[in-house]
Amino acid sequence: MGELKGLSLFANVGIAEAYFEDLGIDICVANEIDIDRARFYQEIYKNTNMICGDITVDTIRDTIVKESIKQNVDFIIATPPCQGMSEAGLRLEFDPRNQLISYAIDVIKRIKPKFVLLENVPKQLTTKIQYGDKIVLIPEYIKSELGNDYNFNKEDLVMAKDYGVPQLRERNIFLLVRKDQPYVWEFPEKQQEITLKEAIGDLPPVDPYLREGLTETLTRFPQYEEKRIKALAVSKWHYPPTHSWKQVEWMMHTPSGKSAIYNEKFYPQKADGTPVKAHHNHYRRLKWDMPCRTITQNNGVISSLACVHPGKPYKDDNGEVIYSDARVLTIYELLIVMSLPLNWPIPEWAKETFIRKVIGEGIPSRLVREIMKALLVQI
């Protein structure tokens, strides 16, 4: 495989790039607006010139372009923020974040790389932005700006689950090849799905740590410490998430694949017993027999979208069937369902909430690897 020199825009912490070095892709330059994400990225990818700053600022954008041209960049990966379009977000019309694609297009037009990968949520296909004095769909805008110089892939919707990633995660990805290049870049052949049971089913079980304190945790879960030690023997990232007892109790009575809002007794409720209003995918356990649901940035909260461990049934002291692992996925389990390398060097200073957020906003690493391989085998 040949080597590509790349630029990563809206780089987050470099989740998409996790396998690039193995493929012979050298990300020479990267840009990220958030200081902590830029620092995280730089600690993992020490040889990359990380330009921390706002791409909408002309001087920052000029620096990105200048450094990329200096480094002979021939590949750009751009993953603009999706929160303005995501199904999990508010989806406000003309959210300013949706306009960020225009700055990526400006950089692409000035650098003129051979190859471009543009990624976002499927909703991008039906999202409109301001383009001059017109209102146009984002795909129309992209193709009107780059269509003269680049060929686009025919199919642009892809599911991570089809490429060895144990997670559904549908994405809209445009693959661009400059018209003077003799290559056709399309998604590779689909691979067999990996279920959550196959991915994490053999990991040691983990009881949650209760916000009410260690004494309460040990009272509710006498084997908590024993399980914690066994889990940490697998990885330092396979440690107990922290939750309140009331939410844990609701989930202990919730079967795999079901939401606690449908429980007859142990359902999400306020102090006075009033049911909590929730979406049918809130307080929901994942299913063992299918890939993980899409991981979101709020994956550490039980009440978020389908992020609770599937659990396994067992009988309590009263003979009632309840379910184990009444908690969200551990960070180690997130690494697996995001197809990140299990030895990915997460900086020690990064806090759990931050790690969970950046993982939830990333592109599954193996999905990007397989898409890039489809190009690299031709070069």
134-172 pLDDT per residue, tens: 888 988 999 999 999 999 999 999 999 999 999 999 999
* Mean pLDDT (whole number) for 183-193: 98
Q: Give just the sign of the alpha carbon dihedral 234, 236, 240, 243.
A: negative
Report all structural domains of the chain as residue ranges with CATH numbers, in order of start. Answer: 4-189+363-376 (3.40.50.150), 207-329 (no CATH)
Residue 131 has pLDDT above 80, yes or no: no
Q: Which residue did the predictor score with more confidence, 182 or 139?
A: 182
- pLDDT, residue 98, reads 73
pLDDT confidence bin for 97, thresholds 50/70/90: low
Of 89-93, 130-134, 139-143, 217-221, least confident by mean pLDDT is: 89-93
Contacts of 281 (CB under 8 A, 6+ apart): 259, 293, 305, 306
Q: What would the pLDDT profile of 284-309 be if each residue is shown by its tens digit?
A: 999 999 999 999 999 999 999 999 99
- pLDDT, residue 2, reads 54
Of residues 28, 52, 82, 292, which has the active-site annotation? Answer: 82
Q: What would the pLDDT profile of 24-62 be if each residue is shown by its tens digit?
A: 999 999 999 999 999 999 999 999 999 999 999 999 999
- pLDDT, residue 61, reads 98
Alpha-helical segments (H) within the chain: 20-23, 35-44, 58-70, 101-111, 138-146, 196-200, 214-220, 224-234, 245-252, 331-337, 352-360, 365-376
Q: Please indicate, yes or no, whether the overall pTM of this predicted structure exceeds 0.85.
A: yes
Q: Over pLDDT 70: what percentage of the chain?
A: 95
| Nearest partner of 79 among 138, 10, 31, judged by Cα | 10
CA 357, CA 350: separation in Å to the nearest integer?
11
Report phi then psi at 101, rounded to 5.
Answer: -60, -30
pLDDT confidence bin for 95, thresholds 50/70/90: low
CA 8, CA 363: separation in Å to the nearest integer?
13
CA 173, CA 139: separation in Å to the nearest integer?
11
Whether 363 and 15 have beta carbons less than 8 Å apart is answered as yes
Catalytic annotation present for 292: no
